[in-house]
Amino acid sequence: MKTKISRIITTCFLIVFQIGLAQQTIKGTITDESGVPLPGATITVKGTSNGSSSDFDGNFSIAAKLGDTLVFSFVGYSPTELVIDGSQINVTLSPTGALDEVVVTALGLTRAKKSLGFAVQSVDSKAINDANENNLVNALQGQISGVQIQGSASTLGGASRITIRGSNSFLGNNQPLFVVDGVPMDNSSFSSIDQQEGFGDNEYDYGNTISDIDPASIADMTVLKGAAATALYGSRGANGVILITTKNGKGSDDGMGVSFSTTITFDEVTNLLPVQQMYGGGSTASTPSGFNELIQDGVSYLYPNYKKDGSWGPKYDPNVLVRHWNSWDPLASNYKETRPWVAPANGYETYFDTGVTYNNSISFSGANNKGNYRVGYTNIDQKGTTPLGKLEKNAISINSGYELTDKLKAGVSVNYTNTIVNNRNVTGYDNGNPMQAFTQWWQTQLDMDLIRNNTTTLSGDQYTWNAVGPVVDETTKEFKSYDFAPNYFDSPFWVRENFLQEDVRNRMFGNMNLAYEINDELSVSTQIGTDWYQFSLREGIPLGSVSLSKYVEAERRFQETNMEVKLNYKKEFSDKLDLRAFVGANTMRQVFKKTDIATSGGIVVDKFFNIANSSGSPAVSTYQTERGIDSFFASASLAWDSTVYLDLSARNDWSSTLPKDNNSYFYPSASLSFIFTEAIDLTEAVNFGKFRVSLAQAGNDASPYLLENVYEATSPNFGSNPLYRVPQSQQNPNLTNELTTEFELGLDLVLFDNRLSIDAAYYDRTTKDQIFNVPLPSPTGFTSRTLNAGEMRNWGWEFQFKGTPIKQNDLRVDLGLNLSFINNEVVELLKDNEGNSVVENIAVGSTWAAEVRVQEGYPYMALFGQDYTYDSNGNRIVDADGKYVFTSDREYLGSVIPDLTGGFSTSVEYKNFTLSTLFDFQVGGIIHSTSTQWSKYSGMHPETVAFNGESDTRANGMILPGVKADGSKNDISIDPQSYYQSIWRSAAPNVFETSYLKFRDVRLSYRFPSSTLDKTPFNNLTFGVFGRNIAILSSDLPYLDPQGVTSSGNLQGLENAQVPSTRSFGFNLTAQF
Amino acid sequence: MKLFRQIGIYALITLSFISCTDELSDLNKDPNSAISVNPSSLLSRAQYKLYDRVHGRNLNMEWGMLMVQYWTQNEYTEESRYDVDVTTFDSSWESIYTEVLNELKVAKELVSAESGIQAVKTNKINIIDVMMVQAYMVLTDGFGDIPYTESLNTEKTLPSYDSQESIYKDLLLRLKNAATTYDTTAGSFSSGDLVYNGDVAHWKKLTHSLMLRAAMRISDADPTLAQEYITTAASDLISSRAQEALFVFDSAIERANPMYRNVVEDSRDDFCVTKYLVDELTNTGDPRLDKFARVDDKVPTIIGMPYGLSDDDASNLKSVRSRPSDGVRSATSPHVILSYAEVQFLLAEAYQRSFLTGDAEAAFNAGVNSSMEYWEIDSAVAAAYLVANPYDSSDWKQSIGWEKWVNFYTNGYEAWSEWRRLDAPALVLPAQAVVSSIPTRLPYPQSEVSNNSGQLDKVTTSPDEITIKLWWDKN
């Protein structure tokens, strides 16, 4: 027996396929209405588990007997049944619209969409592949209602954020759960709170780990939005679940199918904040020329104040010759060179390169009536838009299924991804992120070519535009020396050439499963799945930078293993009543470990990036967490006459992170759907109509280690004295679980001969007893304490329209529109026994002028800052100097969460051509831009030279639109510099709405006709050209990308030195043979 | 059926993993933190955090050192022009309550629970309490009324504010309790005291000296009480330079002097010495000027920058004005907690104002000599300086105020307190100031405005007002 078990396991791990002998081989072709073959359609012999699938030409073969019924199904097409009357059967399948769509729901159940009592939405794997986004999250942009996505498109391995139906938790994770072939996947983003606020100390954007999933291996993706759909995933399903099924082997025993795809994409940066080009950089000296003056070797020179990182210098004048920043290297041929004081030939936008990405994938697959396999390999080679940025990803996936006996099936899936990145982008307000200088502290006259070609002096020192500069005798003006040390900013190219950043992530995930059919009614299935990665990174800063030199080595290791067993039961009680049910158990264990080693006090030998090169004793820190959840669950689905469907489910979790006596929590769900078109005769225009309602709960546990008071060591010691601290957040031994309750109503309609489908949903979701760090005034000795408190509500409408206005022989036009109206309120934070609010808000993040809070009675992530003051007519009030008067307190300025998000898609197919477009949009939501704030402060912003129609305001002054204290129209002229440098602490002038309309995607593809391919080895050959993130057609935020974020964390709405978005164009060739 | 049995066994193996709930709670034992510690390691951290704060950027470099015009910002001159807001001091407020006072409170509880000789425990508790008094003084001398009696109590989640008057009365009482209960024959912390390494006799002298400082600080507001405590304090003061309380920062950069870290770790070059400092010390022929300011190739003679210039004006002068000396910004340059010179200046004032009987001029001279010695000035040079700048009892505030001001160089926060109390030396409001007088209070933090406004509203209607005078600041 022992040997038998090991044989089963061995079978699971090895790709075994064997040619089975069967009764008779039935062959045929499956095509769609226009005769295009449908590869990968499934064929089953009705009443048996015997099945096959079609190959790339739509050909299939299956062993069956004459008189058996074959069921043909394909995602997006109506299943068709045919009785075998010969050895050759050709079938034409018709698209279903929404009618008979089959979707994968919780725990991998395949269900007819029409039977579901809750909202699910499938995403076409073609759309995911076509998007050509390295990060899977970005590929979902505009595709799904109820989903909000933020993230700078295509930045080298950067982070993106996704939420489904808003955020449930004040401070916890609000990202949905990704599940690949039944295995929950980690989606960590290694960003600090500092980084989310737009700050950080040379912190790189390490992206979010879901980007390890190779889009090319995805067969199907389903989004489960509501708690009813997610109850079976337990706690982590409460934020929604994105279910991914990877491709498996298809085809017949004709042999092996090969599929190949190659894509080349070109990226260019967009959304740059422009700089004014009327005045130059530095400051204005009190000399007649406005320049500093010096005498060197008897010659008088003018020189701009290059150590000043801003642009309040003299006005451009081609007749004025000055010593620019690169004229001070005594060994260089241009020593003492003077050049005119004019706008640069090459502005900062020329810093960026054209990014190029090559994406090649190939897969081999095959199947017979006993089993199938697929082996896929993808290589992505990306050159970033910032100089020397590079990403290389290799992904391998192996999938196989096999019928060991008539009753026993085994499956195995293994995925491995290796990602190597060099020179990622630094985010936020830091010298390492060139955007800090370019958008906030720059000199307008700087020519990027000169900076690119002069990163070091001929003696090898860094040569930065922002050097401390000339040392001049104050009275004689005699030049004494030149200090090449950077004042605030390193040369942006020197940074890219000399800073070290590299990381490697190895990730392996997969599962093996067994299913055994006990009898017609009962079956047992079990699955073990694991997700593992090791992430190693190295960072270094050389000597000579404005930042202290350093070297850091870090290691992150993660593993989560789930084991699950399920007993399934199905029975048809009568013609009308059908029951399917299961009970099951799951155990989850998760381990995370990180190790950080860093030099202390800088490095000794320049550019030798090694811990041994530390100036002081290196700092080492380790941190690890473990957690586990054990669960039992049960579910039953009752169907009555294909008209009424009732689903019930329940789950009980035991979590390691809650107190032992309190670690069990139970949550049920129920949903009901009623297909009224089956019960009532409506007009012929209504092909299908369903009403659905569901009510569900989902419990959630805490983070590890919140129960006991402990002492934390702070590193390093003080000499030989250890330094221990009491944690600033007070622990709580009495925690209980959080609970989310959701109510959902929905309506599905298919109209006009399946030409139009409408899916509408209303949801109302409340999360209570949230586990979070309730702020305490620091005089208590703590900044916060861990409590169960608070309540947050999300509610809204979702609409999805799909239409086919034109459908003729050669021409088909499809349109799609999805809309999500999002509402959110922080109902309660913490009340005392008398019902008084004890805590009014949680400060989540802040910059100089603005802060984002979770505040009672306001939407989640409410932005606060000083606002303008207004008179009774709504005019802004100015003071005696002509400056706006701002409120003394920080006022609520709006929610950073939009009110409405959506997408609009079109697809036109004409003969072998397909042209598709995608637009997405959002209405409402606000953002505070620190880049805009400092850009104005430092005199770079175009508004600092021309404001409100007034020209050259630096010379002429400007008049702010508004009224004086006495109510009369403002006529006080003010100097822009003194205005902008005095109001930067007030948020209102730099707060903008994040409404936008983006032209996200356009694609033209051509499929070579079969007649042409007949003489070639190809079954299918498609060529496409595409553009991605083409343009922002409308946006209230000037210049910048309203969707930019620096991490997938909760904090949003604070822009600071945004890494620019990219616009992409490319070509794609797909072949199958 | 054989196969079914196999499947059943396989399922049972899986289930057996599931049913161990004991193993579950074992997973939640935090491997990253300690369950128990020696209280001395909490004391060490509290001491480091307090002195790092008081000497650091937020309270000292960008506040105290600017308010008394030792330094001025040579670029981005907001703080020099008193342009601060309600968020500026959040981090200091939070740090002193949660990283200093709470650590000390827990350390005290741990000491109380220790077994051992009672006298040693009392000494340890006294040391911890004197640390707490210093931390509360830093807070109340900046903000005025602060949460005190209801502070450090998680039952009081919205702690009320106490008046500065009542806080000072209690702090003096705590100092007196400590001063009278030390047992110098018994030991205290055998390690972890980063100030005196557990020397009880020294702690006793520091306790008395702090009492003298605190009593003198309230001498204009409550002379009677001041008199009482000054008399008590005088019995056992710091009486030599060897007994001075210094906090010597560590040479490892993470624990080094914050002024050093600012230059080396953060690569900042934000400060010049002021024209006022340079000109006045030059006028008096003060030899300490060479120790205060830097001479180098770029600025070969000491020349100060006018205080509180506009951003552009400061930037244009930046390359030709002197920086603070390397000596005051070295890694292990100490924070002076309380010096022998300060004790002598306090005594001079006490004699002058007849709180005590004694020779004011002699104490004043001893203070100046000790200060000169601290700055490594030759005694003959110091004597010559005193001859040229003798004590003037008719204008004692100016004499004592001036010498205290010079002596407190690097400890701007304490200098700011004494400048507010003595109103000497006479500092001038810069033209570019955004307020109408030199600030005399810190703005309350945004965290209190947001999270404890019910209590804060009871003591102030203008939490961001920085020119209000505190209770002890009578003129």
Is residue A13's pLDDT more than 50? no
The answer to whether residue A656 neighbours chain B at the CB level (below 8 Å) is yes
Is residue A36 over pLDDT 70? Answer: no
| Percentage above 70 pLDDT, chain A | 93
Q: Is the pLDDT of residue A20 over 80?
A: no
Among A264, A3, A241, A13, which residue's Cα sits nearest to residue A132?
Answer: A264
Q: How confident is the model at residue A780 (pLDDT cuts 50, 70, 90)?
A: very high
pLDDT at A21: 33
Q: Which residues pair with A761 in a beta bridge?
A: A746, A798
* H-type alpha helices, B320-374: 340-352, 360-374
3-state SS of A967-978 is: CCECCCCECHHH
Of chain A residues 960-1019, which have a CB less than 8 A from chain B? 977, 981-982, 985
**Chain A closest-CA separation from residue B358 CA (Å):** 42
Q: Is A657 at the interface with chain B, CB within 8 A?
A: yes
Chain B contacts in chain A segment 698-717 (CB below 8 A): 704-705, 707-708, 710-716
What's phi and psi for A338, nearest 5 deg?
Answer: -115, 150
Q: Does A407 touch chain B (CB under 8 A)?
A: yes
What number of residues does chain B have? Answer: 475
In eight-state DSSP terms, residue A327 is: S
- Whether B24 contacts chain A with CB within 8 A: yes
| Mean pLDDT calculated for residue range B22-40 | 87
Interchain contact, A307 vs B35, CB within 8 Å: no
Per residue, the 3-state secondary structure of B260-278, as one string, reads HHHHHCCCCCCEEEEHHHH
| B85 vs B20: which has the higher pLDDT | B85
- Which chain A residue shows the shortest CA-CA distance from B45? A723
Take residue B217 and report the two structure tokens written for it: 């600080």
Per the document, the length of chain A is 1073
Closest of B300, B276, B308, B306 to residue B406, by C-alpha: B276
pLDDT for B360 equals 97
pLDDT at A16 (0 to 100): 33
pLDDT digits (tens, 9 = 90+) for B322-336: 999 999 999 999 999
Of A486, A723, A777, the CB nearest to B448: A777
* Residue numbers of B between 218 and 237 with CB closer than 8 Å to A: none
pLDDT > 60? residue A795? yes
Closest CA to B444 of B87, B118, B108: B87
Q: Which of A223, A208, A193, A217 is nearest to A152 (CA)?
A: A208
Residues 282-341, chain B: which have Cβ within 8 Å of A?
297-298, 311-313, 315-316, 318-320
Residue B379 scores a pLDDT above 90: yes
Q: Cβ-count burial of A35 within 10 angstroms (0-12 exposed, 13-18 middle, 19+ buried)?
A: exposed
At CA A169, angle to CA A164 and CA A172, rounded to 5?
105
pLDDT at B146: 98
Is the Cβ pair A777, B153 closer than 8 Å?
Answer: no
Q: Which residue of A has its CA nearest to B433?
A: A982
Please write the tens of the pLDDT for every residue from B335-349: 999 999 999 999 999
* Residue B391 pLDDT greater than 50, yes or no: yes
State chain A's mean pLDDT as an integer. 87
Q: Out of A574-588, A713-727, A976-990, B39-53, which region has the weakest mean confidence (pLDDT)?
A: A574-588
**Nearest residue, CB atoms, A726 vs list B102, B150, B157:** B102
Gap from B348 CA to chain A (nearest CA, Å): 37
pLDDT at B16: 53
Inter-chain touch B33–A711, beta carbons under 8 Å: yes
pLDDT of B11 higher than 60:
no
Residues 368-407 on B with a CB inside 8 Å of A are none
Instruction: Indicate yes or no: CB of A846 within 8 angstroms of CB of B87.
Output: yes
**Of A699, A797, A670, the residue nearest A117 (C-alpha):** A670
Average pLDDT over residues A443-463: 95
Q: Among A488-502, B12-26, B61-75, B135-149, whose mean pLDDT is lowest?
A: B12-26
Of A307, A470, A725, the CB nearest to B103: A725
Contact call for A780 and B151, based on CB within 8 A? yes
Q: Which A residues, 369 through 388, put their C-beta within 8 Å of a C-beta on chain B? A: none
Q: Are A279 and A939 in contact (CB under 8 A)?
A: yes
Q: How far apart are CA A1044 and CA A1060, in angstroms?
A: 8
**pLDDT score at B277:** 97
Report which of A111, A79, A83, A110 is spatially closest to residue A95, judged by C-alpha positions. A79
Task: Looking at the complex, report in whole angstroms how far the Cα of residue B11 sits from the nearest Cα belonging to chain A.
Answer: 6
Nearest to B252 among A472, A586, A616 (CB): A616
Predicted pLDDT at A14:
38
- Residue B174's pLDDT is 98
Greatest mean pLDDT among A40-54, A363-377, A670-684, B153-167: B153-167
* Contact in structure between B324 and B342 (CB atoms under 8 Å): no
* CB-based contact B6 A480, cutoff 8 Å: no
pLDDT tens profile A499-544: 999 999 999 999 999 999 998 889 999 999 999 999 999 999 999 9
B37, A708: Cβ pair inside 8 Å?
no
CB within 8 Å: B28 and A627: yes
Q: How far apart are CA A976 and CA A957, in angstroms?
A: 7
Q: How far apart are CA A1037 and CA A894, in angstroms?
A: 15
Q: Over the stretch A194-230, which tens digit does the pLDDT of each residue have?
A: 787 778 788 888 888 888 998 888 888 888 887 766 6
Tell me if chain A has a CB within 8 Å of the CB of B277: no
CB contacts < 8 A (A, B): 270
Q: Does A881 touch chain B (CB under 8 A)?
A: no
Tell me the per-residue pLDDT of A605-621, one tens digit each, with 9 for 90 and over: 999 999 999 998 899 99
Contacts of B458 in chain A (CB under 8 A): none
- A846–B contact, CB cutoff 8 A: yes
> Is A781 in contact with B320 (Cβ distance < 8 A)?
no
Quote the pLDDT of residue B339.
97
* B-interface mutation test, from A1, A718, A729, A830, most B Cβ less than 10 A away: A718
Residues of A with CB below 8 A from B77's CB? none
Q: Which of A4, A292, A718 sits opposite B6 (nearest CB)?
A: A4
Among A516, A586, A721, whose Cβ lies nearest the Cβ of B194? Answer: A721
User: Which residue from A626, A718, A841 is facing B27, i.e. has the nearest CB?
Assistant: A626
pLDDT score of A98 more than 60: no
Whether ipTM tops 0.90, in short, is yes
8 Å CB contact between A995 and A923: yes
**Chain A residue whose CA is closest to B252:** A616
> Three-state SS for A583?
strand
| Chain B positions in Cβ-Cβ contact with residue A724 (cut-off 8 Å) | 34, 37, 41-42, 44-45
CA distance A626 to chain B (A): 6
| C-alpha to C-alpha distance for A155 and A205, rounded to whole angstroms | 9
State residue B74's pLDDT score: 94
- C-alpha distance from B321 to closest chain A C-alpha (Å): 10
